[in-house]
């Protein structure tokens, strides 16, 4: 009886499936121009993001440019073991994690505070001026900004001239020649470049907060400063959590463009990070399999950090990516 009753049920569902298929087809045709735009994006992603993933297998092979990837012999985890026992591993990880940690510690909360205070400005023209000035550096490449910083930090640059005019130093400082200054330069310049742009996301989240909440807080006697941290900040905690998860997953990324432009042989002990290490071993030395293994190792660690950060934020405030 159970088997007999199941057959009519399946047959009864077939018209629903056909109706859904027809509805989907009509909707697809009515949105054909939008769908074509989406398909172009999907095709681009497949061609440039997914098809190249095949090349990851050279991390487990001894690849050279003379032979194809398929002809390269398998070596298993040889390159991973070599990286984990490399004498440069400790200081490369120290530089990578050190700069990324301070960027996260200082650079992550600053756009939030900037957005909160910027939202409190009542002069619209001044607010737009400040916002425009703050996110303008984002549109300049690190090649341009690196040249500007190199000029400013030179022995006869504006920074040394100002410090000497204020009698804070007696002789010029070679900032980019001293490894002890490199982290500070990288962190400060990164915040300068991305502060305003990062704040745009938080300003968009703040704009969705109901004005009634502020009216209720005003009636209860809350000052504008209290409203910022008792009303605005809790209402955008979901956006903050998502961006924090993404920031944690990218902690091993040290902004290759920035570091590569500002580094030199004199500050190499403080500027050699995983990304530049991969560039040196993979491009300049031709160790493609080894550098691919290092990059894959970094991606695996980033994925684990993403899962951990997602789990923690989900437990703390019930907000997560998945």
Q: pLDDT (tens digit, 9 = 90+) per residue, 180-220?
A: 999 999 999 999 999 999 999 999 999 888 889 888 988 88
Q: Given this model, what pLDDT does residue 14 score?
A: 61
Q: Given this model, what pLDDT does residue 67 score?
A: 83
Q: ∠ CA 218-222-223 to the nearest 5 degrees?
A: 100
Instruction: Give every residue of the chain whose pLDDT is below 50, as ranges.
Output: 1-7, 9-10, 12
**Distance separating alpha carbons of residues 311 and 43, to the nearest angstrom:** 32
The secondary structure of residue 221, as a DSSP letter, is: T
**Distance separating alpha carbons of residues 187 and 103, to the nearest angstrom:** 6
CATH 1.10.3720.10 fits 77-317, yes or no: yes
Q: Given this model, what pLDDT does residue 4 score?
A: 46
- Confirm if 244 and 313 have CB atoms less than 8 A apart: yes
Q: Which of 137, 250, 145 is closest to 198 using CA atoms? A: 137
Q: Given this model, what pLDDT does residue 141 score?
A: 92
Q: What is the pLDDT of residues 39-63, one digit of tens each?
A: 888 999 999 989 988 999 999 999 9
Percent of the chain past pLDDT 70, that is, above it, reads 95
């Amino acid at each position: 009886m159970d088997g007999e009753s199941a057959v009519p049920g399946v047959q009864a569902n077939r018209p629903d499936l056909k109706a859904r298929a027809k509805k989907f087809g009509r909707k697809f045709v009515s949105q054909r121009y939008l769908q074509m735009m989406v398909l172009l994006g999907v095709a681009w992603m497949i061609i440039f993001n997914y098809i190249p993933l095949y090349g990851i297998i050279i991390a487990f092979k001894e690849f050279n440019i003379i032979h194809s990837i398929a002809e390269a012999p398998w070596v298993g985890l040889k390159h991973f073991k070599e990286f984990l026992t490399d004498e440069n591993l400790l200081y490369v990880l120290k530089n990578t994690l050190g700069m990324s940690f301070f960027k996260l510690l200082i650079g992550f909360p600053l756009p939030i505070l900037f957005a909160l205070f910027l939202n409190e400005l009542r002069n619209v023209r001044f607010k737009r001026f400040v916002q425009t000035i703050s996110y303008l550096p984002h549109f300049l490449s690190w090649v341009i900004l690196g040249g500007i910083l190199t000029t400013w930090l030179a022995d006869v640059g504006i920074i040394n001239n100002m410090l000497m005019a204020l009698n804070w130093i007696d002789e010029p400082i070679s900032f980019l020649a001293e490894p002890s200054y490199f982290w500070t330069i990288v962190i400060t310049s990164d915040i300068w470049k991305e502060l305003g742009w990062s704040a745009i996301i938080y300003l968009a989240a703040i704009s969705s907060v109901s004005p009634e909440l502020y009216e209720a807080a005003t009636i209860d006697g809350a000052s504008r400063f209290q409203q910022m941290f008792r009303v605005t900040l809790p209402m955008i905690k979901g956006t903050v959590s998502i961006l924090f998860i993404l920031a944690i997953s990218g902690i091993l990324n040290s902004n290759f463009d920035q570091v590569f432009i500002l580094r030199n042989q004199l500050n190499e002990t403080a500027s050699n990070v995983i990304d530049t290490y991969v560039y040196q071993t993979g491009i300049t030395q031709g160790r493609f399999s080894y550098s691919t293994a290092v990059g894959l190792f970094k991606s695996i660690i980033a994925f684990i950090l993403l899962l951990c950060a997602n789990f923690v934020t989900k437990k703390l405030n019930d907000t997560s990516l998945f």
